Amino acid sequence: MAAPRRIVTGHDASGRSVVLSDGPTPKTLDVGTAAFHELWITDETPTPIAAVEEREPVERPVRTPAPPGGVTVRFTEMAAGAEAPMHRTETLDVGVVLEGEAWLLLDDGSETRVGRGDVVVQRGTNHSWANRSDEPNRMMFVMIDGTIGDDVRQATGPLEFFDMELG
């Protein structure tokens, strides 16, 4: 699939709303069974909003999770038959199925099918995604840096978080 179109707005010198850019997402990483299209990344919340960006916010290595204190917005595409490794990030992730279907796999053994228009709010849990269909799927994720609560840490014991530069 082609990189999604990304439209970024801002302000001109008089403070009026303008389109600053309109084109394909500038950062894509294709790993064969999946593609990651970085749409926007912030390094803090609340995020400063200037008239224009000093630099392209996605010009950095593709990584999971979001930056400390920040937010990552990305489209993912998963090939038919592909499955991601089980992983946990210290983030609150909102995933929306845009095309196709996916299976959300949790470490309790549960498997939940999600289809076009379905939304998953993933709250720092150990999880995986699988595409068990014959067609690729496309999802959008908003990943917000978070902190696992003491109650969860006490129940689970030591936690391992996935923090990896993907490319």
Predicted confidence (pLDDT) per residue in 8-64, tens digit: 999 999 999 999 999 999 999 999 999 999 999 999 999 999 999 889 999 999 988
- Range 27-165: architecture per CATH: Sandwich (2.60)
**Report field, pTM of the whole predicted structure over 0.95:** no
Res 54: pLDDT: 87
Angle CA 147–151–152, to nearest 5: 65
Q: What does pLDDT average to over the chain? A: 93
Q: Is the pLDDT of residue 157 over 80?
A: no
Closest CA to 124 of 103, 106, 146, 141: 146
